[in-house]
Structure 1
Amino acid sequence: MSGRLSGKIAIVTGAGSGIGKATVELFRQEGARVVGADLRGTDFECDAGDEEQVEALVAHTVRDFGGLDIMFANAGISGGFASIFEQDADDWAEILRVNLIGPFLAIKYAAPAMKERGGGSIVATASVAGLRSGAGGPAYSASKAGVINLVKIAATQFVGANIRVNAICPGLIETGMTELIYERARAKGQEGQIGHLNPLRRGGAPIEIANAALFLASDEASYVNGQAIVVDGGLSASHPFNHQSYGRTTT
């Protein structure tokens, strides 16, 4: 490995599985010292939507590792695909607490620690569901749209601090959150149809999002700020249409 994060100190939330777990492993391979945080089974047990716990997570990292350079606010919940009329205010409050207030808290407490180090990179997991309808339930989609705008606002509030704030918008990725989709497709012998709506005609893997997080966290992305980087196999590049294989012609 090239050690692209050599000497860096990082926090990854939602580190117990999927994208978070893959990112912790990749960051460590690239030379970072990483604190993986999740509700259980990680370096630091933390509810990403609880202010006291997030504050404690950052304080622990600064105290035990000497600072903070990278924060990947990745923790999230889906809330399912229930319609607006099937959800109540409590459903929305919990989804927004984890998916939107969580990244806000990560930014709020990571930024002062990064400023002490002369700068840093904050990355938040949003979603293509935050760009347009059709990729998630109402509350989930609204929360991820909020994350996209949050990173833009945060980037403008850290003028002069050398702190970059960006989001990643994954498409369909095989994680615990999408496990049911994959299981149903495999049970019906339709695994080959997963991701068929995007030009690459497949779902994504957690490591493909981790690679995007690595880029945004590294000095290679030193001029990337306030952006929402889409990693979805091309799904959101167009409106839905009848896909045909490359080189195929119609009569």
Structure 2
Amino acid sequence: MRLAGKTAIVTGAASGIGFATAALFVAEGARVIAADLGMPELEGTTGVAADAGDEAAVKGLIKRAQKDFGGVDIFFANAGISGGLASIFEQSVEDWEQILRVNLIGPFLAIKHAGPVMKERGGGSIICTASVAGIRAGAGGPAYSASKAGVINLVKVAATQLCDSNIRVNAICPGLIETGMTKAIYDMARDSGKESLLGNLNPLKRGGEPDEIAHAALFLASDDSSYVNGHALVVDGGLSISHPFYNQSYGRTAF
């Protein structure tokens, strides 16, 4: 029960990594507010319909935690969207604005509004979902990759600006994980009989499961990581040690 007596907010909790993490946090003794655009239905949590990229919604989640549980100890800013794999020359400004709003502004709002509340409580842990796509090119679309690179730098800056608060701010960088976001990739591979090739570009030769990211989040949320701060924890089967290059311009606008 590594999170006994703790209160956690998890965004993007209706499925995938968020759902698995909220369930694990409950199993480890936490009181969990599970938030998503559609209200998550997960036993043992308080489900809330909320847009993680909307400031009023984020403030509302924190107020709910204060009202129901007396404060916030853990905020897992996990909600995100992929935006597809269109090239820079095919994406619109509106595409970028939406992707950055959810993927980067969402974690910023979590840090901005949870930080002062956690400080009053004596400390806490803020975790943001980044991606291996934020480390090197070749693992995601342009806006998605840029947003996740921003998350990695955001947690480093936030860790410095929350010094003396006993609040740790870290990121998780998942590789290929079977979630709603990657469903099309997995379905395509299975339909074509190429499921065995999924994850073939990492040394473990497989894709990951949401539970494997959830356990990384548990580590960062608990006192097990009490001296880990401003860090981007990569959980990708070894993919990012050598991102392969492939011709992303094939079939797209290129020069």
For normalisation by structure 2, the TM-score amounts to 0.93
Deviations 1:39-92 (A, max 9, x none): 112211110000011111111111111111000000000000000011110100
One of 87, 108, 111 as aligned partner of 1:104? 108
Alpha-carbon distance in 2 for matches of 1:38, 1:80: 20
Matched-pair contact (CA < 8 Å) for 2:18–2:79: yes
Deviations 1:80-138 (A, max 9, x none): 00000111101000000000000000111111111111000000000000001000000
One of 19, 24, 27 as aligned partner of 1:26? 24
Q: Which residue of 2 aligns with 1:61?
A: 65
One of 113, 125, 128 as aligned partner of 1:124? 128
Alpha-carbon distance in 2 for matches of 1:112, 1:64: 18
Matched-pair contact (CA < 8 Å) for 2:138–2:244: no
Q: CA deviation at 1:237?
A: 1.4
2:135 aligned with 1:137, yes or no? no
One of 164, 171, 183 as aligned partner of 1:167? 171
Q: Which residue of 2 aligns with 1:199?
A: 203
- Structure 2: give runs of 5+ residues left out of the alignment: 41-46, 246-255
Alpha-carbon distance in 1 for matches of 2:120, 2:26: 23
Q: Which residue of 2 aligns with 1:246?
A: none
Q: 1:130 corresponds to which letter in structure 2?
A: G
Matched-pair contact (CA < 8 Å) for 2:155–2:231: yes
Q: CA deviation at 1:238?
A: 2.5
Deviations 1:202-239 (A, max 9, x none): 00000000000000000010000000000000001125
Alpha-carbon distance in 2 for matches of 1:226, 1:132: 19
Q: Which residue of 2 aligns with 1:146?
A: 150
Q: Which stretches of structure 1, 4 residues or longer, exceed 3 Å deviation after superposition?
A: none
- Structure 1: give runs of 5+ residues left out of the alignment: 242-251
Q: Which residue of 2 aligns with 1:157?
A: 161
Q: 2:25 corresponds to which letter in structure 1?
A: F
Deviations 1:145-185 (A, max 9, x none): 00000000000001100000000000000000000000000
Alpha-carbon distance in 2 for matches of 1:239, 1:159: 34
Change (3 A) 1:169 1:141: same
Q: Which residue of 2 aligns with 1:213?
A: 217
Change (3 A) 1:55 1:239: closer
Matched-pair contact (CA < 8 Å) for 2:156–2:230: yes
**Higher mean C-alpha displacement, 56-65 vs 167-176:** 56-65
2:90 aligned with 1:92, yes or no? no
Q: Which residue of 2 aligns with 1:9?
A: 7
- What SS does the corresponding residue of 2:182 show, helix, strand or coil? helix
- What SS does the corresponding residue of 1:229 show, helix, strand or coil? strand
- What SS does the corresponding residue of 1:173 show, helix, strand or coil? coil
Alpha-carbon distance in 2 for matches of 1:240, 1:191: 19
Change (3 A) 1:191 1:52: same
Identity of aligned residues (%): 72
Alpha-carbon distance in 2 for matches of 1:5, 1:210: 13
Alpha-carbon distance in 1 for matches of 2:207, 2:242: 17
Alpha-carbon distance in 2 for matches of 1:109, 1:239: 35
